Amino acid sequence: MRRRLGRVAAIICCLVLTACAGGQVRHGVGGPNSVSFALPPSATPNWILPLAIPGYTASYNGVIQSALFLPLYAYDGSSGAVARDDKASAAEPPVYAPDGKSVTITLKPLAWSDGTPLTSQDVQFWFDLVRAAKDDWGAYSKGLMPDDVTDFRVVDDHTFTLTLDKTYNPGWFTANQLALITPLPRHAWAHDPDPRKTFDYLVAQAKNLGGYNSNPLWKVVDGPFALESFSPTGQVTLARNPRYTGEDAARLDKITFLTFTSSAAEYNVLLAGGVDYGYVPTTNLGQKSKLESLGYRIEPWNGWSITYIPYNFNNPALGAVFKQLYVRQAIQHAVDQKAISQVIWRGTATPGYGPVPQDNDPTFLSDTQKNTPYPFDLDAARKLLADHGWQIGADGIQACQEPEKCGQGVDKGARLSMTLLTESGSDETDGTMQELKSELSRVGIELRINAQPLNTVLANGTTCEPSSPACSWQLSYFGTQGSWYFPAYPSGEQLFATDASVNFGNYRDKPTDDLIGASTLSTSPQSMMDYSARLAEQLPVIWMPNPPYQVSAIDTSIGGITQDPLAGLQPQRWYRR
Amino acid sequence: MTTIAVPTRFRLRGNGLAVVGTTILVLVLAFCLLGPLLYHTDQVHTDLGAARLSPGQQGHPLGTDDLGYDVLGRLMIAGRTSLAIGVLAGLLATAIGAIWGALAGYVGGWLDAVLMRIVDTGVAIPALFLLLVAATLITPSIGVLSLVIGCVSWLVPARLMRAEAATLRERDFIKAITVMGAGRFRVVFTHLLPNAVGTLVVAGTFQIAEAILLVAYVSFLGLGVPPPATDWGAMLSKGITYTYDGAWWLILPPGIAIVLIVCAINFVGDGLRDAFAARGRS
């Protein structure tokens, strides 16, 4: 009897221990002090040289680069305000001259992993390479870095002064120009006295993904992590850099970046416990409680970004129509952003009414943008069109009946029928497009949806001349992968300035150009507020709800994670509880 | 030619499954074609304010989907799409297969070898793969999907018809009209195909069921007709997304509809096959 009781007690103990162990689910693929991180669908890291050439500038490459090579200045927005992250920066705060025409920078006492100190020459090396090959540098825009720095003067081993071509807004210059600089190990990478040859050599080495594991170039780092392995399929493992000399040392032994061909594939692995820090497709948010029971916490990761649909103002058929502000106002009135955000995005997206990110730091957000001049109002949309000479025809589509009211370049009989080139394969994008088509049809605007793979949309919806066959696109939506992520300072010199590189719709507006120029030169935030208000009113694009960067599923045993809206990771601060 | 309608009808009456199949088929057709005339819903405009309502709420007997479309009404118009594509594609596949197989079987020789090797090659390529490639290249519509599915599904009817034609060409009446000077095309279209009508009708029913399933596959993979049009496969695909929300009304209705219609058509096909087999024996 006693023996039987003993057996029963042993079984109960085993059951209790098993139950206790079951409550602490262990995820991931690495060791006990490591974390596996899921990269976005189809994202395959292919570049670790912190001087990216066009085509290799993806943010996931940048995440790995900044863990290996400290940027001169890092920024972070996870506190609610976008601000310099001094612990993750290689230099002390910059000191601008009283006339604003020069800036003096002092490096922190850091050393490379081979023991060589980090010096001003390492920053000068970066400048030499970029100046020699600026047209091949992915971040180059004419007139900006490095053109806006006329002289580099070494003061001592740790201090240097940059002379600027004019007086800039220091906040903008540090955030959007100095933050592009990453000190490089001159002693290890200066392959040739000619910087152009060295640049070409480094690019050639960086293109050789198979050499990442063995090439001594990539062994010399100054960041909190060092490269342990790099698979040509994109899986990357970083290990703690034991010779890191800064104040932001890694707490984890390893971090592994995992790649997936689709969000569904990632989600299946997440459910199986194969990822420590992954993401949940929005359509699977109904499984939140299931994931929580598996030991994950679910947190949306909002981005420092905006989402929009560009009009092609150069389109031969509809360019003149799109140039009429009242048409753009009518279309914007037909976008029910709140409903799209709440229902289709299940509350994870945020309505956006202008050119400044609206769901994070409000420093640059104008009241005009915040309160939107064109709320969802179909009657207002119909009235705008009726007041300007448009009538709904027998086919249910608005047609211009009074050309003198319709506006310059709009002929009698012109119809409000347009094609929207959009990303295929996303439930959220499909739903958004159906909703948009439906609401516009109630106003008498026909929207034809042409869903194509994202790469096709990206390749076709670009800047063009009116006479070019490439200008046949009318509206373009990059969908869930197409939000524009800003650097720390959300100015519009790349997006809405005349002839800007990402001004896909060829928008031209002199007051906007002036405001963008002022925002980069003036120290007052008012120019940014004015810019925010003007574009909220002028509607260079259709403003759309801004989805989160991702909805994260994070192993509850990992601490130190702050989801930075600038899409940075700072994995050196993560730890296992 | 033999009149087949009357004896077949009588024989179907004796086949229980065929009667059940025919009844379901008629009911589903009535549901899809007449239903929207009696039960009016807006299947063009979205209504996000009424999204994902469960059955019975706010006057929606089967609830609403993620964009606020009434599921019962959507089931009806989706059924029209699925049935239209199924019937058109099934008939097209049967027609192509019949002519191809009849020519191969009747003419024989090198033409038979060439035509049937093409069929063998085609069978080796998965139809779903061809469909996905085509749906990616061409904007899908009812006409396009019918054409594409028809063009990838004719291989099995071609084999059946080839075997039937090879048998028929040895029959005395075919030999007689050949001796009387009838041309090959006249023999094939006027005598051979009409005498293989039993095989063709049975093959046709199975092809329709197959086409309905194929369009469901393609739509399930997100390459079906563009919204706001839909079909049962697309409804099912969308519904699966909300499985863990407990939204069974987005999954069961289109799933049951697909199973019902495919089973019904197969029952009818089986019944017709039995009926024609009995006629052949008699």
pLDDT at A234: 82
pLDDT of residue A27: 67
User: A441–B66: do the CB atoms touch at under 8 Å?
Assistant: no
DSSP run (H or E) holding B211: helix B197-220
Coil, strand or helix at A419: strand
Q: What angle do CA A182, A188, A191 make, to 5 degrees?
A: 100
Chain B environment of A449 (Cβ under 8 Å)? 226-227
Q: How far apart are CA A312 and CA A460, in angstroms?
A: 11
Structure tokens at A457: 């949309």
CA pair distance B164, A298, nearest whole angstrom:
63
What is the mean predicted confidence (pLDDT) over B121-135?
81
Confidence of residue B1 (pLDDT cuts 50, 70, 90): very low
Q: What is the pLDDT of residue A147?
A: 94
Q: Is the pLDDT of residue A316 over 90?
A: yes
Structure tokens at A345: 């995005």
Query: Which pLDDT band holds residue B3 (cuts at 50, 70, 90)?
Result: very low
Confidence bin at B225 (pLDDT 50/70/90): confident
Nearest to A477 by CA among A497, A519, A448: A448
Measured between alpha carbons, how far is A290 from A288 in angstroms, rounded to an integer? 5
Cα–Cα distance, B88 to B150 (Å, whole number): 8
**Which of A288-302, A380-394, A557-571, B105-119 is modeled with the greatest confidence?**
A380-394
| Tens digits of residue pLDDT in A6-45 | 554 554 444 444 444 444 455 666 678 999 999 887 778 8
Give the pLDDT confidence score for residue A18 in this predicted structure.
41
- Give the integer Cα–Cα distance in Å for B98 and A83: 73
- pLDDT of B274 higher than 90: no
Q: What is the arithmetic mean of pLDDT over B206-226?
A: 82
- Top pLDDT among A164 and B222 is at A164
Contact A425 B139 (CB under 8 A): no
* Minimal Cβ distance to B241: which of A283, A442, A451: A283
Q: Are the beta carbons of A427 and B238 separated by less than 8 Å? A: yes
* Whether the predicted pLDDT of B153 surpasses 80: yes
Judge: B244–A287 Cβ closer than 8 Å, yes or no.
yes
- How large is the average pLDDT for residues A213-235? 93
Q: Do residue A343 and residue B48 have CB atoms under 8 angstroms apart?
A: yes
Could you read off the pLDDT of A82-118 as tens digits, one per residue?
Answer: 899 999 999 999 999 999 899 999 999 999 999 999 9
pLDDT for res A446: 96
CA atoms of A454 and A395, how far apart (whole Å): 32
- Chain A partners within 8 Å of B135 (Cβ): none
Task: Give me the pLDDT at residue B193, please.
Answer: 87
What digits encode the pLDDT tens for the residues A432-465?
Answer: 999 999 999 999 999 998 877 776 787 788 888 8
Contact A433, A451 (CB under 8 A): yes
Q: Measure CB to CB from residue A434 to each of B222, B228, B244 and give the nearest one.
A: B228
- Chain A CB contacts of B228 below 8 Å: 434, 437-438
What percentage of chain A carries pLDDT values higher than 90?
A: 66
Chain B residues closer than 8 Å to A430 by CB: 227
- pLDDT for B209: 86
Mean pLDDT lowest for which of A531-535, A553-557, B206-210?
A: B206-210
Domain ranges of chain B: 25-35+62-281
Residue B44, min C-alpha distance to chain A (Å): 7
A interface with B, Cβ–Cβ below 8 Å? 283-284, 286-287, 290, 336, 339-340, 342-344, 424-425, 427, 430-431, 433-435, 437-439, 441-442, 449-451, 453
φ, ψ at A104 (rounded to 5°): -110, 135
Size of interface A-B (CB pairs under 8 A): 53
Of all residues in chain B, the one with the smallest CA distance to A436 is B46
| Residue A221: exposure state from Cβ atoms within 10 A (0-12, 13-18, ≥19) | buried
B235 to chain A nearest CA, in Å? 12
DSSP secondary structure code for residue A158 in this structure: T
Question: For tokens 């098993």, what's the residue?
Answer: A18
- Closest Cα of chain B to A381: distance in Å? 17
Contact A434 B49 (CB under 8 A): no
Share above pLDDT 70 across residues of chain A, in percent, rounded to a whole number: 94
Phi then psi for residue A222, to 5 deg, are -125, 5
Closest in A339, A430, A433 to B48, CB measured: A339
Determine whether the interchain pair A442/B45 forms a contact, defined as Cβ–Cβ distance below 8 Å.
yes
3-state secondary structure of A226: strand
Cβ pair B21, B268 in contact under 8 A: yes
Cβ distance B45 to A284 less than 8 Å, yes or no, reads no
Q: Give the pairing of strands A558-559 and A575-576.
A: antiparallel
Span B59-87, mean pLDDT?
95
Chain B residue numbers with beta carbons less than 8 Å from the beta carbon of A284 are 241, 244
Chain A residues lying within 8 Å of B66, measured CB to CB: 343-344, 431
Q: What is the pLDDT of residue A30?
A: 64
Answer yes or no: do A437 and B51 touch at CB < 8 A: no
Distance (Å) from the alpha carbon of A332 to chain B's nearest alpha carbon: 17
Mean pLDDT for chain A overall:
90
Q: Which of B53, B64, B67, B223 to mutate to test the interface with A (most CBs of A within 10 A)?
A: B67
Spelled out in words, what is the top-level CATH class assigned to the domain B25-35+62-281?
A: mainly alpha
The alpha carbon of residue A533 is apart from the nearest alpha carbon of chain B, in Å, by 29
Looking at the complex, report in whole angstroms how far the Cα of residue B123 sits from the nearest Cα belonging to chain A: 29
**Interchain contact, A451 vs B226, CB within 8 Å:** yes
End-to-end CA distance of chain A: 44
The count of other CB atoms within 10 Å of the CB of residue A213 is: 13
The pLDDT-based confidence of A481 (bands split at 50, 70, 90) is low
For the record, the structure tokens of A568 come out as 């940075």
- Give the mean pLDDT of B1-28: 71
**Chain B residue set in contact with A, beta carbons under 8 Å:** 44-46, 48-49, 51, 66-67, 136, 139, 222, 226-228, 238, 241-245
